[in-house]
Amino acid sequence: MREAGVTVVRVGESTWSLFEPQDGVFSFEWMDRILDRLHKAGIKVILGTPTYSIPAWMAARHPEVLSQRWDGKQEHYGIRQNMDIYNPTYRRYCERIIRKMMEHFAGHPAIIGYQVDNEVEARKIGNRDYFEGFREYIRSEFGDSLAELNRRWGLNYWGMNINTWDEFYDRPGVTNPSYKLWWERWNRKVTADFLNWQADIVNEYRRPDQFVTHCFMPYFYNIDQVEAFRQMDYPAINIYYTMQDAQDGMWIAYAGDFMRPVCRRGNFLVTETNAQGTGWSSRDQYPPYDGQLRQNMYAMLASGANMVEYWHWATLHYGQETYWRGLLGHDGQPNRVYAEFTRGAAELEKVGKKLVNLKKRNRVAMLFSHDSKHALDFMPYTNGDQYKDYMVYEALYRQNIECDILSVDKVNDFSGYDMLVVPPLYVATDETLQRISDFVEQGGEVVMLYKSCYCNEDDAVRPVLAPGPLAAACGFTYQEFSSIRRLNLRPNDIGAADNTVGTWMEFLCPTTAKPLAYADHEFFGKWPCVTENSFGKGHLTYIGAVPSQELLQKLIARAADRKGIATAERKLRFPIVLRSGTNGDGRGVHYMFNFSAVEQTVAWPFADSESQLDGQKLSRGASVKVGPWGVVVGIE
Amino acid sequence: MREAGVTVVRVGESTWSLFEPQDGVFSFEWMDRILDRLHKAGIKVILGTPTYSIPAWMAARHPEVLSQRWDGKQEHYGIRQNMDIYNPTYRRYCERIIRKMMEHFAGHPAIIGYQVDNEVEARKIGNRDYFEGFREYIRSEFGDSLAELNRRWGLNYWGMNINTWDEFYDRPGVTNPSYKLWWERWNRKVTADFLNWQADIVNEYRRPDQFVTHCFMPYFYNIDQVEAFRQMDYPAINIYYTMQDAQDGMWIAYAGDFMRPVCRRGNFLVTETNAQGTGWSSRDQYPPYDGQLRQNMYAMLASGANMVEYWHWATLHYGQETYWRGLLGHDGQPNRVYAEFTRGAAELEKVGKKLVNLKKRNRVAMLFSHDSKHALDFMPYTNGDQYKDYMVYEALYRQNIECDILSVDKVNDFSGYDMLVVPPLYVATDETLQRISDFVEQGGEVVMLYKSCYCNEDDAVRPVLAPGPLAAACGFTYQEFSSIRRLNLRPNDIGAADNTVGTWMEFLCPTTAKPLAYADHEFFGKWPCVTENSFGKGHLTYIGAVPSQELLQKLIARAADRKGIATAERKLRFPIVLRSGTNGDGRGVHYMFNFSAVEQTVAWPFADSESQLDGQKLSRGASVKVGPWGVVVGIE
Amino acid sequence: MREAGVTVVRVGESTWSLFEPQDGVFSFEWMDRILDRLHKAGIKVILGTPTYSIPAWMAARHPEVLSQRWDGKQEHYGIRQNMDIYNPTYRRYCERIIRKMMEHFAGHPAIIGYQVDNEVEARKIGNRDYFEGFREYIRSEFGDSLAELNRRWGLNYWGMNINTWDEFYDRPGVTNPSYKLWWERWNRKVTADFLNWQADIVNEYRRPDQFVTHCFMPYFYNIDQVEAFRQMDYPAINIYYTMQDAQDGMWIAYAGDFMRPVCRRGNFLVTETNAQGTGWSSRDQYPPYDGQLRQNMYAMLASGANMVEYWHWATLHYGQETYWRGLLGHDGQPNRVYAEFTRGAAELEKVGKKLVNLKKRNRVAMLFSHDSKHALDFMPYTNGDQYKDYMVYEALYRQNIECDILSVDKVNDFSGYDMLVVPPLYVATDETLQRISDFVEQGGEVVMLYKSCYCNEDDAVRPVLAPGPLAAACGFTYQEFSSIRRLNLRPNDIGAADNTVGTWMEFLCPTTAKPLAYADHEFFGKWPCVTENSFGKGHLTYIGAVPSQELLQKLIARAADRKGIATAERKLRFPIVLRSGTNGDGRGVHYMFNFSAVEQTVAWPFADSESQLDGQKLSRGASVKVGPWGVVVGIE
């Protein structure tokens, strides 16, 4: 490892049954040996609490800790993450092993931090205790008022109102969207509480120089990031993606743009990412082309990561993850990927200190809504993905507009931004909508998609002309909508060659808004499907149908033009991707990626910089070559 | 409502938990207020018994009333129609609430009738009591004879014969088709018994001027219409369909042609139909194009409806049916659909009395077999739809041949008709087949499809040369059949451009029948796949393969030509659809629909009439214009 | 039957509830009557034990014998093969009925043999007793050592190691591939033990002139053929396939080539094959074209069958198998298929004695690995079929290379062969691999596919450079692999027009091997995907990707050329199929099939022979005509 350039490793996260082979019998010596060897080699360690995979003896003795999923599946032993994380018996065992481990290991000099659990989320847990917790949560949130509950959730429909708390019914048969939305909130709350509870225990023991983290998968909608990361200096994510021809850096950029705003210090860790092929079978093995592993390493730094760890060092010869391959393959010998890792590690050894702690001051924010994501899944308007956040993000990414992704319910102030891009904000409070309205009025640009503003925070539709509280800012109302097949738009000045919309269309009736596009259809063409409204000092562009990717890009560009956002960067486009920020020394750091197999020559769009990887000068406007799957890193 | 032209509403059907918020605690005042207001406005009311959605307290206290489906699914609370309708506890609670409601409401002057339950059918109920009921039913139907049961169902195969009634096995593991068919009969019987039981209770209280109804979904194969409608003057149906480009009126016509013959008075009610978009999600929202809502209203009257109600007045803001939208949308304000409803309502105010109580004397009947529908599903010969009743109906509908749809097992006499069209009559008694044979012999025309006559009433194959009792009338026998891909036919004089068959083919060996068509295939071409037989004074056309829609139409037309059926009407074709009958004054009523977006000009094929909607003269043979999604209604 | 030419029938196999209508009450007279009638007609009988379908009274009284499948499905009564064949209660009832039957019937002169059970395999049985049997089996196989178990299965991963045998966890939640593989071995062991246990009982009673058999479906991977057939002179198979245009004889040939090597006497029985259409519905009815039934009968004899029985004589009129049609259809009268059967039977009456007891001395063997088949399914590298044994067999069959199919773990010696063809041998012992290496070194030709040699006998990956023990014989090592889309190969001298590979590719790094083909791709083209290595006196051809069918044929032909294998036969190709052997008299027997609808004229490639079906001379090199779906049988 030392030879390869590894400087930090994670250990311990799924080894509960080795630390505690029998109930109350502990064994830590084997890990002591590992830590001592790592320390001797100068390699730092993040020690994980092992709670995401229970020992066999626990399942045998306390089968009630296994998850009884509300979709009817009973979990069995033989896999990880099969338990009810809310269960008190499970929690009691968790607490004991964490305390024992902390007592034993906290003083070890190799340890720089602790990871509590791993990729936790509530995986359809439906155990009785979990449901009862939900009922108490609702009781508390609704001030113990069944009348309030019945009213806000509309339970009178189909006569499913509740008249005593004992009648409050369990999740499996539920059809009511309000109930479902609150259930998802409960899932997020339990997950965050669980992490904070573990962090509290670890905090009793850890040294001041040690941090606490947790690694999430970037399926952000199941996590309350703000609450879950509350006690963590460095939240972490595990980013997996497809390499080879599909490598585009977008999933990395998305994850980073999501994480930065919710990190206390503005930077995060990457605790896992692809080494060689990934997957629970050998069906999807896509080892990187030459250059891709290193390129992705820089892509993570360019998004704000302060660490890049790979999953994992060596590859297992047995078990479910036999084909989730590490830097070393099954043979345990150096290989092509190992060589590329070593090259990257050597480069970071030289320039890494200047790249970490990257900060960004983006002018554009994309608003993310956990509630809208879930609520649209309950009431789908199409097949597959409903929320389309990734489609919207792509429209920014492909034209080099950097953004922050903000959890809409957790942010009180958009004033630091010039432009908001809004995927279907189906569920939102009046306050949030007022905040968006104010943002426009005060001069902001908003590009907003269909179905926004439709429901209140209980996932109940607002009983007013859509788009309700945003009608003035939008400059239209609507009463009707329709599923549609893909429709051509009549000629317009938006300028998209793929001049189409599809899937869904709202029949917008402009009051003050200017129609930008109409479907070329006898019936649907009676209403515009894209409008632009001047409201106060700003503009709100509304897209009342699912636009083509190109149409969406053009509409965003149109708004960006008005603000002069990313004017230079937007002249370059994917496969050239630009990412910038300011390092700890306050100097501008610029990344130029080439996400293609063909060398690109482009004009350097930034201030004069020094290329960190080859020492060359990068002058504004001068030609720069970026090789296949290559990257240029300049610092001003 | 009054302003809009609403004259009747339904209330109460899913509000059990409002009428009885706790076990034995009743509350009717809130409905009194509603009824009084409606009465004051001159709007009539149909009051529903609320039994299709149980209160939460019942599920909490008596979980055994929830359906344990025989396919393994356990129903939970949180949705309607999740209970075992045969369960005595459920029935006891039903009876109490119905009696309490009738005691309270029966005298209210606004109430013109009662709807018992809603869209009831046995939804895979498999509770123990339900199964035991089935066993007793079989015991009774088979004269308590296990020997008879084993013999008729062929239970000796795989040694699954039953030697005591205690061994009689439950539905879940059953593979025997005879058992399955009888289980479906049990489902239909329980459903009908349940409705008659409710009607009996209501009848104890209702005024003579009040009627009893129930609304079905037009999936007719799960209902014993004759038994279920036995006590109802006006059975009702809820017809939902796709509008916009898919609007063709066919589902409405099919439903009407099915209902009329089973209605004691020959007319039925439509209790629900599309207002705006329908669906349990927003995925399939197809609000009507201009004119379509009104067109469909007339289509229902043209099929024999005496009332058209929409589901529903306003749109819900919460719950599973948030996107099942009413005449008013979420905003509660007048809109495009509301305006069209109001136009239609105003027209009916003027001419409605002359349109209701429509009677038809059709010369053609289509034979519908509940048993064949189910039995073919147990032993499919293709993917998807097996019974093809809708394909056959379409062949009539598209060329303006009106028909009655007869439940083949409930009709003893076809003598009123000139022609029978028979979808795969896979299961039938000898008596039914003899009746068809007699019909041909006495001069009738029969067009019959493959697989007819194959099984007896126990779904056991007849142990004789197919088509068994109909061999003489058919004029062929066959021993073999094969799955086939789509095959061209050799040139013939049927005249279909799409001269093909597919999916299935019987190897017909004519005795007296005349071959009409052969496959153009070395092997399959050895046997005809369509024959025509003169038998007595009539003809039987047999189609031993799945024909193209056009081929089927031509074969039906060929038979219709011999009888001179719908000669004038058949000159017009879809999108022009003609529907006729006689109103209460004994006058001819004629509807001409244009199911397209393009205005049509056609010659009026009926006797001179007066156009009801614009007062113009309609002279036989004179040109009539029918606008896009338009209708002309003439009365002689 | 006698008139039709039937000489042997099977009876009794699924009639337990007729033999024992109540617990302990027996009835055999009805079968006596049948046996006497058959005997009188000179028809021989194979009597089946009825244990594969339990009586209803057993399920009612002992529901615990029903299978509780480990995938969560609870079996119910109403179908056959729904029980836990390891259950002691079930076994006790089995033993009693078998003993009673043998006591009663063993002396009957019509009976020539006994069939124990029918198509038995462990169908996801997961009952507690079955699992406990597995645990004891593992305990025994691992010398009661949990340390050994944890180490070899790698259970430390995810902390799922086991510290007492009580913690050993059940199958449902298992993800560990080693556990899964051993579970499959347990399934095969239980199945074989069950058959041997039944055979032991039957052997106590049977006459010396009577044999014992069992009929399998040819899904060979769930059966331990060697152990299961240990006590059987004539194992039997039930071969079903699609006729009509799809008839190609390949499934029959595959089944025969698999069975011959595991039959003690070298010949087997066919107890069931298609008569008319087959299938549990009427969806897949493909009755034979003229000639096909007879052609397939000879195809079975040509593969080593000593008997061909059809399923079944007559067709059922009820039950699940209504459309699994016999020689006689539902009408019970002679028909086209019956006529063809009769023709074939008459031919066999004359020449059958010269055709049975066919022996083959093939120079090519295909290695079959039960473990590899299962292990690849646990860790799939593609969708659908992983093991591709049938793809490999096809490459031999289409060019008339006959082979034996050997269960690789049961054969100690390949020295009788000149060439081995090896589908992905993913799991193998070091000993097996050494044996293959020795075979090459001593002059053999081996054609081996990707993923071979990767795992040891516990399904754990070997921790060395792939292909591990075979690296020297292969002449390369590799460290990497990738999923790929279909890729063209660069021009090469293999000679396949379809010069492509797909799905999966290993990055082979030749040491001594000669590259034969490279992908035409910037990245993947850096490594050969087909190599050929001279090792000792032989060659090993390795295909490190999924080849096109044609490419595979060419690579096999290339190796066959070096050995002069099937040189004459390979000049002819499908649809002409050649099958040869030696009959009981030591004379060469040659079959020439035409699996097409078009008559073929070809040169007779064998020594001078006499055509058995028409008495003509067949001279080497002289033209022979083979009619559509025809066959020529020559004996030297």
> What is the DSSP track for A218-231?
S-GGG--HHHHTTT
Distance separating alpha carbons of residues A125 and C225, to the nearest angstrom? 44
DSSP state letter for C197: H
Distance separating alpha carbons of residues B285 and A542, to the nearest angstrom? 21
pLDDT value for A218: 82
**Do residues C243 and C286 lie in contact, with contact meaning Cβ atoms separated by under 8 Å?**
yes
Mean pLDDT of B566-577: 97
Residue C455: both structure tokens together = 């795992």
Phi, psi of A478 (to 5 degrees): -150, 150
pLDDT value for A279: 80
Q: Is B283 on the interface with A (CB under 8 A)?
A: yes
- The whole-angstrom distance between A451's CA and the closest CA on chain B is 11
Q: Rg of chain C's alpha carbons, rounded to an integer?
A: 26
> Which amino acid type is present at position C195?
L
Query: pLDDT at residue A277 above 90?
Result: no
A283 and C480 within 8 Å at the Cβ level: the answer is no
Q: In what order do the strands lie in the sheet with C236-239?
A: C215-216, C236-239, C268-273, C305-308
Return the sign of the alpha-carbon dihedral for residues A391, A396, A398, A403. Answer: negative
C333 and B460 within 8 Å at the Cβ level: the answer is no
Residue B302's SS3 state is helix
A-chain residues within 8 Å CB-CB of B316?
154, 157, 461
Query: pLDDT at residue C17 above 90?
Result: yes
Query: pLDDT at residue A489 above 90?
Result: yes
- The pLDDT tens digits of the residues spanning B243-300 come to 999 999 999 999 999 999 999 899 999 999 999 988 888 888 999 999 999 999 999 9
C463 and A282 within 8 Å at the Cβ level: the answer is no
A56 and C158 within 8 Å at the Cβ level: the answer is no
pLDDT tier, C282 (very low <50, low <70, confident <90, very high otherwise): confident
pLDDT value for C30: 97
Mean pLDDT of B111-119: 97
Facing B78 at nearest CB: one of A174, A380, A504: A174
Who's near C127: CB < 8 A, 6+ residues apart? C64, C67, C68, C84, C86, C87
Distance separating alpha carbons of residues C65 and B129, to the nearest angstrom? 24
Question: Choosing among B478, B479, B486, which should be mutated to test the C contact, i.e. which has the most C CBs within 10 A?
Answer: B479
Facing A163 at nearest CB: one of B22, B80, B337: B22
Mean pLDDT of A363-373: 98
- Mean residue pLDDT of chain C comes to 97
Distance separating alpha carbons of residues C453 and C468, to the nearest angstrom? 7
Mean pLDDT of A308-317: 96
Residue of B nearest to A154 (CA): B318
String of DSSP letters for C118-167: SS----SB--HHHHHHHHHHHHHHTTT-HHHHHHHHTTTGGG---SSGGG
Distance separating alpha carbons of residues A404 and A366, to the nearest angstrom? 6
Cis peptide before C312 (omega within 30 of 0): yes
Residue A521's SS3 state is coil
Who's near B282: CB < 8 A, 6+ residues apart? A379, A380, A381, A481, A483, A504, B323
Q: Is B209 on the interface with C (CB under 8 A)?
A: no
C-alpha distance from residue C425 to each of C154, C376, C381 (Å): 21, 9, 14
Distance separating alpha carbons of residues A136 and A509, to the nearest angstrom? 44
Facing C318 at nearest CB: one of B172, B460, B522: B460
Residue of A nearest to B76 (CA): A173
Distance separating alpha carbons of residues B444 and A231, to the nearest angstrom? 86
pLDDT value for A219: 81
pLDDT tier, A233 (very low <50, low <70, confident <90, very high otherwise): confident
Burial of B117 (0-12, 13-18, 19+ CB in 10 A): buried
Which subunits sit against A, judged by 3+ Cβ pairs under 8 A? Answer: B, C
pLDDT value for C358: 98
Query: pLDDT at residue C233 above 90?
Result: no
Query: pLDDT at residue A585 above 90?
Result: yes
Cis peptide before C469 (omega within 30 of 0): no
Distance separating alpha carbons of residues B406 and B385, to the nearest angstrom? 20
B-chain residues within 8 Å CB-CB of A522?
597
Distance from first CA to last CA of chain A, Å, rounded? Answer: 33
Residue A155's SS3 state is coil
pLDDT value for C281: 83
pLDDT value for C280: 81
Who's near C154: CB < 8 A, 6+ residues apart? A316, A317, A318, A319, C176, C178, C460
pLDDT tier, C217 (very low <50, low <70, confident <90, very high otherwise): confident
Q: In what order do the strands lie in the sheet with C404-407?
A: C404-407, C364-368, C419-422, C445-449, C538-543, C528-535, C514-518
A-chain residues within 8 Å CB-CB of B331?
463-466, 479
**Do residues B622 and B286 lie in contact, with contact meaning Cβ atoms separated by under 8 Å?**
no
Q: In what order do the strands lie in the sheet with B44-48?
A: B8-11, B44-48, B111-115, B211-213
pLDDT-above-70 percentage for chain B: 100
Cis peptide before A312 (omega within 30 of 0): yes
Q: Is A245 on the interface with C (CB under 8 A)?
A: no
Residue B478's SS3 state is strand
- The pLDDT tens digits of the residues spanning A415-448 come to 999 999 999 999 999 999 999 999 999 999 999 9
B-chain residues within 8 Å CB-CB of A464?
331
B-chain residues within 8 Å CB-CB of C331?
463-466, 479
Distance separating alpha carbons of residues C400 and C81, to the nearest angstrom? 38
Q: Is C277 on the interface with B (CB under 8 A)?
A: yes
Residues written for chain A:
636
Query: pLDDT at residue C4 above 90?
Result: yes
Q: Rg of chain A's alpha carbons, rounded to an integer?
A: 26
The pTM assigned to this predicted structure is 0.96
Residues 465-494 of B with CB under 8 A from C: 465-466, 479-483
Minimum mean pLDDT range among A163-172, A277-286, A573-582, C96-105: A277-286
- The pLDDT tens digits of the residues spanning A501-512 come to 999 999 999 999
pLDDT value for C533: 98
Residue C122: both structure tokens together = 């462990």
Residue of C nearest to A335 (CA): C479
C323 and B379 within 8 Å at the Cβ level: the answer is yes
Mean pLDDT of B301-311: 97
- The pLDDT tens digits of the residues spanning C309-358 come to 999 999 999 999 999 999 999 999 999 999 999 999 999 999 999 999 99
Residues 53-72 of C with CB under 8 A from A: 72
B-chain residues within 8 Å CB-CB of C244?
482, 523
A480 and B59 within 8 Å at the Cβ level: the answer is no
pLDDT value for A278: 83
Mean pLDDT of A122-135: 97
- The whole-angstrom distance between B50's CA and the closest CA on chain C is 36
A-chain residues within 8 Å CB-CB of C162?
56
A-chain residues within 8 Å CB-CB of C159?
14-18, 50, 53-55
Mapped to the 3 state alphabet, what secondary structure does B576-635 carry? EEEEEEECCCCCEEEEEEECCCCCEEEECCCCCEEECCCCCEECCCCEEEECCCEEEEEE
Distance separating alpha carbons of residues B604 and B578, to the nearest angstrom? 10
Distance separating alpha carbons of residues A303 and A254, to the nearest angstrom? 8
C479 and A336 within 8 Å at the Cβ level: the answer is yes
Q: Count other C-beta atoms under 10 Å from residue A23's C-beta.
A: 14
- The whole-angstrom distance between B344's CA and the closest CA on chain A is 20
Query: pLDDT at residue C220 above 90?
Result: no
pLDDT value for A280: 80
pLDDT-above-90 percentage for chain A: 96
Residue of B nearest to A171 (CA): B78
B319 and A159 within 8 Å at the Cβ level: the answer is no
Query: pLDDT at residue A152 above 90?
Result: yes
Facing C56 at nearest CB: one of B162, B460, B462: B162
Facing B163 at nearest CB: one of C22, C74, C82: C22
**Do residues C546 and C450 lie in contact, with contact meaning Cβ atoms separated by under 8 Å?**
yes
pLDDT tier, C450 (very low <50, low <70, confident <90, very high otherwise): very high
Residue C22: both structure tokens together = 């109540």
Distance separating alpha carbons of residues A329 and A336, to the nearest angstrom? 10
Size of interface B-C (CB pairs under 8 A): 156
Residue corresponding to tokens 């993570």 = A300
Nearest to C605 by CA among C402, C419, C396: C402
Residue B545's SS3 state is strand
Size of interface A-C (CB pairs under 8 A): 155
A-chain residues within 8 Å CB-CB of B278?
none
- The pLDDT tens digits of the residues spanning C242-274 come to 899 999 999 999 999 999 999 989 999 999 999
**Do residues C260 and C267 lie in contact, with contact meaning Cβ atoms separated by under 8 Å?**
yes
Phi, psi of C491 (to 5 degrees): -50, 140
The complex's ipTM? 0.95
- Mean residue pLDDT of chain A comes to 97
Residue B93: both structure tokens together = 């609670």
A331 and C464 within 8 Å at the Cβ level: the answer is yes
- The pLDDT tens digits of the residues spanning B471-492 come to 999 999 999 999 999 999 999 9
Distance separating alpha carbons of residues B285 and B323, to the nearest angstrom? 8
Question: Choosing among C132, C153, C160, which should be mutated to test the A contact, i.e. which has the most A CBs within 10 A?
Answer: C160
- The pLDDT tens digits of the residues spanning C19-74 come to 999 999 999 999 999 999 999 999 999 999 999 999 999 999 999 999 999 999 99
C159 and A75 within 8 Å at the Cβ level: the answer is no
C-chain residues within 8 Å CB-CB of A16?
159
- The pLDDT tens digits of the residues spanning C400-446 come to 999 999 999 888 899 999 999 999 999 999 999 999 999 999 999 99
Which subunits sit against B, judged by 3+ Cβ pairs under 8 A? Answer: A, C
**Do residues A248 and A215 lie in contact, with contact meaning Cβ atoms separated by under 8 Å?**
no
**Do residues A409 and A262 lie in contact, with contact meaning Cβ atoms separated by under 8 Å?**
no
Query: pLDDT at residue A594 above 90?
Result: yes
